[in-house]
Amino acid sequence: MRWQGAPLGGSAQLPASKSESNRALIIQALAGGGQLRNLSDANDTELMQRLLAEPATAPKLNAEDAGTVMRFLTAYLAVTGRQVLLTGTARMRQRPIGVLVDALRELGARIDYTEQEGYPPLQLQGWVPELNEQEPAELSVRGDISSQYISALMMVGPQLPGGLRLRLTGKIGSRPYIRMTQSLMQHFGGQCRDLGEVIEVRPQAYHAADYTIESDWSAASYWYAMVALAPAGSTITLPGLRQHSWQGDQAIVRIMAQLGVATEFSEQGVTLTQVPVGSGVELDFTDCPDLAQTVAVVAAALGVPLVLTGLESLRIKETDRIAALQTELAKFGGALVDEGAGRFRVPVAAFQVAGQTVETYHDHRMAMAFAPLAVRGPLTVLAPTVVRKSYPQFWKELRKAGFEITEQA
């Protein structure tokens, strides 16, 4: 793929938020109704819809490579008493789920591991609650691995006889996703209070409600990258984004203001405009880990020194994203240096785009984080269909914007 050379302009369509969509689908199922508008067309969301629609007698469900589907469905199937095998791809069977399973077992779920202890596949054997109906169930859960475990437990909390009191221990990552879960629960009638280290969920049944999903700020980040790297005068309009958003990845507004992109909000969405680049920055990605790859690539290409922290969860994503970034940045002359104690550095280097081939490691965000480099020179992205996981129309939108993309046999 390559860029035509002119400044970027026009508008681009974003997918709806996968994070909002998958949470809303679980809560809708527990509520027993309500209309969800603008659901994501991402593979993960379509997969969630299909699996939720499977008959209760289905002996096996396959979450494929979708982390939210595996984790949210584990909790949903447990509290609804399903007896089913929940499995996934080879990579999914390497992604830990013990923290969530241990918590659900404490609540009364009967769950067995069919292969490696602590990892899918899971055999769910039903629900045998031994809970006091007058008191909330109390759990302690680590907050430093994945907020999806916490969100999964929160969403099923109203189904418990006395509700749920969830105590979070250690460093809590991706807190905006916890707040998103709380907001969606409340929209559907759930009573949930975030007290910092403790989350309280009342045994208040959900009620059917309608909801319109916002466009995806994670997907918007790739257009921020393109504006930052494109010729002077570049701009793009992205409809469907809200200034007051529940999505933690709206942090891209603040982050990219330091890397050469200004954001203007309107009733329709946002307009991105290229502005002067800062001289260097240190960023904590604890609350927005899905932005780390994109930002690291932009900083390396712009020659802006960057320090990154809060990357702990990147090791257990679709691939080891830290290792993948280190390998692929090196092809362009860049680097991601591990300085220890959770700090990584992108140094100023002789970065050049000149026909390199980018491996994507079965990871949609690797493909989309490196694709914007095409505005600086030609490059090849392997296994481009991985974008179907979150942004199926990504390559189509790039063509509309003026990228020349040739599919290789």
Per the annotation, binding residues for phosphoenolpyruvate are 18, 67, 95, 148, 321, 365, 389
Which residues neighbour 130 within 8 Å (Cβ) at sequence distance 6 or greater? 108
Per the annotation, binding residues for 3-phosphoshikimate are 18-19, 23, 146-148, 174, 290, 317
The two three-digit tokens of residue 223, written as one number: 């257009």
Which uninterrupted H or E stretch holds 36? strand 36-37
The two three-digit tokens of residue 103, written as one number: 């918590």
Among candidate residues 226, 258, 220, the one with its CA nearest the CA of residue 9: 226
The two three-digit tokens of residue 158, written as one number: 């109203």
Q: Which of 44, 65, 290, 363 does the annotation list as catalytic?
A: 290
CB 389 within 8 A of CB 66: yes
Amino acid identity of 36?
L
Q: CA-CA distances (angstroms) from residue 154 to 109, 185, 191, 249, 378?
A: 15, 9, 10, 21, 46
Active site residue 290: yes
Per the annotation, binding residues are 18-19, 23, 67, 95, 146-148, 174, 290, 317, 321, 365, 389
Which uninterrupted H or E stretch holds 100? helix 98-107
Which residues neighbour 409 within 8 Å (Cβ) at sequence distance 6 or greater? none
Instruction: Give the span between the Cα atoms of 172 and 276, in whole angstroms.
Output: 34
Which uninterrupted H or E stretch holds 236? strand 235-239
Instruction: Give the span between the Cα atoms of 39 and 299, in whole angstroms.
Output: 32
In total, the chain counts a number of residues equal to 409
CB 169 within 8 A of CB 140: yes
DSSP 8-state class, residue 81:
T
**Residue ranges in 163-251 assigned as alpha helix (H):** 175-187, 217-229
Give how far the C-alpha of residue 222 lies from the chain's centroid of Cα atoms, to the nearest Å. 14
Instruction: Give the span between the Cα atoms of 310 and 313, in whole angstroms.
Output: 8
Bond into 121 cis (ω within 30): yes
CB 103 within 8 A of CB 153: yes
Active site residues: 290
